[in-house]
Homo-oligomer: A and B are copies of this chain.
């Protein structure tokens, strides 16, 4: 961040008055440019004992497997965002279930949120950011080829809860030292 989005003048990195953190400040027009974490929203679309996975057609993690998920957009709710990403990436029609996992990835300033979901039918198809869409039971999950640690953790908790007969809410942190692939 080099220039002010408001007036185009160079920015200064400094702690504004009555703040505790360095921000990109414009000395010309006075605007302080705050940067905040982003929400990534996704679903666990279930069909019988299987879940729907997408193989990524884009970087980062091209060719690796993920649950349908993406950045929340302005103007939508978290449920609308998760539905939209599932439609865009997997062409899947789902009924939304409960909030299932909320996972912090502080190293990359992201919070990943996944919802339980039920596939309505078997008419799904890869979107433009997806190479392939596949239903996998627990044994068929490509555990070594998952794109993101938040997806791995969500799937692990999902199958554990499923075998216990009850789905809970799971909160977790991908520790800063841990190699987390940035979602982008």
Which residue numbers of A lie inside 8 Å of B, CB to CB? 1-11, 18, 20-21, 24, 33-39, 71-80, 88, 99, 102, 104, 106-107, 109, 111, 128-129, 169, 171, 173
Contacts and interface: CB of A to CB of B under 8 A. Distances in A.
B106 A76 contact: yes
Contact of A5 (B5, B73, B111): B5
Contacts of A24: 5
B173 A73 contact: no
A71 B173 contact: no
A171 B33 contact: no
Given A77-B104, A78-B102, A111-B39, A71 B2 contact: no
B2 A36 contact: no
Contacts of A106: 75-77, 80
A78 B37 CA distance: 10
A78 B39 CA distance: 11
Given A37-B74, A39-B37, A128 B2 contact: no
A76 B37 CA distance: 9
A114 to B, nearest CB: 13
Contact of A72 (B37, B73, B88): B37
A76 B176 CA distance: 10
Given A99-B102, A128-B18, A169-B169, A75 B3 contact: no
Given A5-B5, A6-B3, A36 B71 contact: yes
The 3 tightest CB contacts between A and B, nearest first, are A3-B8, A77-B104, A74-B109
